[in-house]
């Protein structure tokens, strides 16, 4: 007999939502009985990791009988060398992916009853990690037409209980950015009991001239922590490595929330090798920028509402219910991401892939929409109700 009923579950853990990732290629092959499936659903890189990283992993594998180093200085030294600008290893905190660093931030700055501010629609992990420690989310949503930030609304939402303001920049899932002027206004006017988390996981793909130099605020010792990930431009989503850059006092405090032996030998080896392979990073960024321009144009040609993206994905709104369009794409072996968990139930997000993958997605989308039109499937009508739970 189980003693489960006597256990005291932490209600915050028991009720916090669970993040749902994009479907895997293997699961869709099996479910739809297909041989050839492409995944454009999780903002991953379509390229294999740097060959230097793969070689470093192979070499490090022989020593896996040993624990990894307790400290992460070797990696933080190479991060400081790579980022430069006067950063030192003391500015960095590493984690098992950016999501782990977000958990560390929530655990370090939020207690029961505290508040975090998010600007929906945005990356759901902010809300999940904050709820898990009993904090409450306060919303200062993006402008619903252009998905731009409203700094006055963010500052207006701050209370004495606010501890963290999450700025996703570029924002997932809209691909839009906060400008340098807006960031400056936020940093200069946020009260000193608040830490601004600038999640710049996709910063490598930004071409906009008015993108903030958030590092300058960190180097001035402002209450700002930047988040970076190796899962995007470094092609290492499966490895799990991310880091924060913050003023040393904040970084030192945040790293107290790390697990013991939080990174494996393989992560140290691959992370350091990847940072040294600038050519691989540049290849991935160039591929993304050309694919992004091509995909945006194609979606526009299909007369679909598309938002200008500064990232490696594009948000669009199909004319039919998004879940039905996603299903039709799956039948054609193309996985994209329905946005219901991202506060946008009527939208889809497609990740920029290889040129042939982008072409296959557009062809599958065209076919799906034509078939739905021919079958007389009911259109998604832009009423207040159908725009989704959060008015978008
Ligand atoms: C905005 C944003 N931040 C952080 C992450 C975390 O990435 P990871 O945990 O893979 O480093 C993601 C992943 O999709 C993201 O979209």
- Per residue in 7-60, pLDDT tens? 999 999 999 888 888 899 999 999 999 999 999 999 999 999 999 999 999 999
- CA-230 nearest atom, ligand 1: 11
Q: Is 237 in the pocket of ligand 1 (CB under 6 A)?
A: yes
Q: DSSP code of 306?
A: B
- List the 313-316 sheet strands across, edge first: 313-316, 348-351, 337-338
Q: What's the confidence (pLDDT) of residue 20?
A: 86
Measured CA to CA, the distance from residue 255 to residue 242 in angstroms comes to 13
Q: Is 231 in the pocket of ligand 1 (CB under 6 A)?
A: yes
Token pair, residue 97, equals 């992916």
Q: Any bridge partners for residue 359, and if so which?
A: none
- Expressed in angstroms and rounded, the spacing between residue 322 Cα and the centre of ligand 1 is 23
Q: Write the pLDDT tens digit of every residue in 158-203.
A: 999 999 999 999 999 999 999 999 999 999 999 999 999 999 999 9
Q: What is the pTM of this model?
A: 0.95
Domains and CATH numbers, the chain: 22-48+279-375 (3.90.1150.10), 51-276 (3.40.640.10)
Q: Any bridge partners for residue 38, and if so which?
A: 334
Q: What's the confidence (pLDDT) of residue 381?
A: 67
Shortest-distance Cα residue to atom 5 of ligand 1:
98
Q: What's the confidence (pLDDT) of residue 385?
A: 45
User: Ligand 1 pocket: which of 229, 236, 313 to mutate (most atoms <8 Å of CB)?
Assistant: 229
- Expressed in angstroms and rounded, the spacing between residue 391 Cα and the centre of ligand 1 is 25
- Expressed in angstroms and rounded, the spacing between residue 231 Cα and the centre of ligand 1 is 7
- Expressed in angstroms and rounded, the spacing between residue 365 Cα and the centre of ligand 1 is 26
How far does Cα 283 stand from its chain's mean position? 21
Measured CA to CA, the distance from residue 20 to residue 26 in angstroms comes to 16
Q: Is 99 in the pocket of ligand 1 (CB under 6 A)?
A: yes
Measured CA to CA, the distance from residue 93 to residue 248 in angstroms comes to 9
Q: What's the confidence (pLDDT) of residue 388?
A: 44
Low-confidence ranges of the chain (pLDDT < 70): 1-4, 381-392
Q: What's the confidence (pLDDT) of residue 377?
A: 94
Cα 13 to Cα 3, 95, 112, 295, 385, distances in angstroms: 19, 21, 12, 40, 31
- Expressed in angstroms and rounded, the spacing between residue 200 Cα and the centre of ligand 1 is 9
Shortest-distance Cα residue to atom 3 of ligand 1:
201
Q: What's the confidence (pLDDT) of residue 278?
A: 97
Cα 56 to Cα 14, 60, 74, 271, 272, distances in angstroms: 40, 6, 14, 9, 9
- CA-99 nearest atom, ligand 1: 9
- Expressed in angstroms and rounded, the spacing between residue 172 Cα and the centre of ligand 1 is 9
Shortest-distance Cα residue to atom 6 of ligand 1:
98
Q: What's the confidence (pLDDT) of residue 3?
A: 66
Instruction: Report the half-sphere exposure of 237 (CA within 13 A, side-chain side).
Output: 14
Q: What's the confidence (pLDDT) of residue 270?
A: 98
Shortest-distance Cα residue to atom 2 of ligand 1:
201
Nearest-5° Cα angle at 335, 330 to 338? 95
Q: Is 123 in the pocket of ligand 1 (CB under 6 A)?
A: yes
127-130 long-range Cβ contacts below 8 angstroms, 24+ apart: 127/17, 128/16, 128/17, 128/18, 128/19, 129/99, 129/102, 129/103, 129/105, 130/106, 130/164
Query: Could you tell me what percentage of the chain is helix, strand and coil, using 3-state DSSP and rounding each to the nearest 5?
Result: 40, 10, 45
Q: Is 229 in the pocket of ligand 1 (CB under 6 A)?
A: yes
Residue 136: in which H helix or E strand, if any? strand 136-139
């Amino acid at each position: 007999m189980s003693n489960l009923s006597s256990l005291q579950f932490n209600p915050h853990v028991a009720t916090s939502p669970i993040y749902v990732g994009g479907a895997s290629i293997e699961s869709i092959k099996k479910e739809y009985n297909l041989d050839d499936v492409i995944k454009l659903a999780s903002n991953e890189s379509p390229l294999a990791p740097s060959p230097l990283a793969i070689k470093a992993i192979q070499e490090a594998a022989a020593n896996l009988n040993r624990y990894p180093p307790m400290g992460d200085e070797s990696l933080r030294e190479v991060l400081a060398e790579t980022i430069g600008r006067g950063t030192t290893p003391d500015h960095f905190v590493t984690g098992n992916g950016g999501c782990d660093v977000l958990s560390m931030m929530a655990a370090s700055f939020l207690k029961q009853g505290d508040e975090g501010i998010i600007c929906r629609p945005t990356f759901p992990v902010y809300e999940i990690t904050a709820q898990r420690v009993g904090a409450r989310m306060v919303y200062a949503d993006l402008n619903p037409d252009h998905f731009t930030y409203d700094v006055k609304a963010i500052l207006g939402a701050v209370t004495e209980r606010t501890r963290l303001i999450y700025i996703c920049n570029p924002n997932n899932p809209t691909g839009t950015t906060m400008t340098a002027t807006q960031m400056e206004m936020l940093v200069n006017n946020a009260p000193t009991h608040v830490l601004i988390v600038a999640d710049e996981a996709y910063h490598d793909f930004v071409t906009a001239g008015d993108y903030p130099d958030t590092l300058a605020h960190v180097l001035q010792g402002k209450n700002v922590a930047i988040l970076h990930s190796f899962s995007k431009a470094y092609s290492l989503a499966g490895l799990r490595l991310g880091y924060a850059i913050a003023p040393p006092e904040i970084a030192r405090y945040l790293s107290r929330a790390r697990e013991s032996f939080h990174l494996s030998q393989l992560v140290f080896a691959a992370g350091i090798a990847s940072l040294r392979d600038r050519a691989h990073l540049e290849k991935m960024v160039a591929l993304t920028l050309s694919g992004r321009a091509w995909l945006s144009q194609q979606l526009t040609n299909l007369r679909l509402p598309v938002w200008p993206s500064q990232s490696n994905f594009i948000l669009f709104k199909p004319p039919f219910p998004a879940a039905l369009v996603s299903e039709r794409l799956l039948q054609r072996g193309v996985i994209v991401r329905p946005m219901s968990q991202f506060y946008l139930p009527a939208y889809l997000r497609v990740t920029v892939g290889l040129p042939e993958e982008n072409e296959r997605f557009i062809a599958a989308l065209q076919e799906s929409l034509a078939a739905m039109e021919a079958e007389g499937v009911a259109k998604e009508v832009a009423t207040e109700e159908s725009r989704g739970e959060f008015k978008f």
